Amino acid sequence: MGIPERWKGHRPLPQGVAGSLEKLTPIFEREGVRLAYLFGSLAKTGEVGEREPHDVDLALLTKEKPAWKLWDEIAEAVRSERLDLVDLRSASPVLLFEIIRSGRLIYASDDAARERFVLDVLHLYRDTAPLRRRQRAALKRRVDRWCEESR
């Protein structure tokens, strides 16, 4: 798989980037981060290696400050501009569910915050399931119509 267009022109992820995630704890403590998840390719592979991840995907639940305001400091700590931040307060239910399902928790200010967040996400995901089913059915109808019209 090639490098996504958005990362062309940026230096590749440095070796040991997964180890540099430990440097984020003091930043998270100082800036009022409640939870931080590593997700995406780096969470799956664990390091730059055979299946090279393209970027560092972090999802943050903060007390006050929007996650994007921490971008510069986090990019410096992980030694890469290939950084995507997701604010867990505004992410979609599907993305939230995927992050808790397949992401790796790398920081929690306390266990109660983590448990509360996970339960809230599971309830939100379950509660929005009927909407996703309707969207899927509507999309299928549109695709079927398009296929019929293009014959």
Q: Which residues contact 140 (CB under 8 A, 6 or more apart)?
A: none
Q: Can you tell me whether residue 107 is helix, strand or coil?
A: strand
Return the half-sphere exposure (C-beta side, CA atoms, 13 A cut-off) of residue 63.
Answer: 11
C-alpha distances (whole Å) from 116 to each of 23, 70, 71, 112 are 26, 23, 25, 6
pLDDT for the residue 79: 85
Rounded Cα distance between 4 and 55, Å, is: 10
Domain annotation for the chain: domains and CATH numbers = 17-150 (3.30.460.10)
pLDDT for the residue 3: 52
Closest listed residue to residue 36, CA positions, set 104, 112, 121: 104
pLDDT in tens, 13-55: 556 676 778 889 999 999 999 999 999 878 877 654 445 667 8
pLDDT for the residue 135: 93
pLDDT for the residue 56: 87
In this prediction, the residues of the chain whose per-residue pLDDT falls under 50 are 1-2, 7, 48-50
Closest listed residue to residue 46, CA positions, set 15, 5, 74: 15
pLDDT for the residue 19: 73
pLDDT for the residue 82: 84
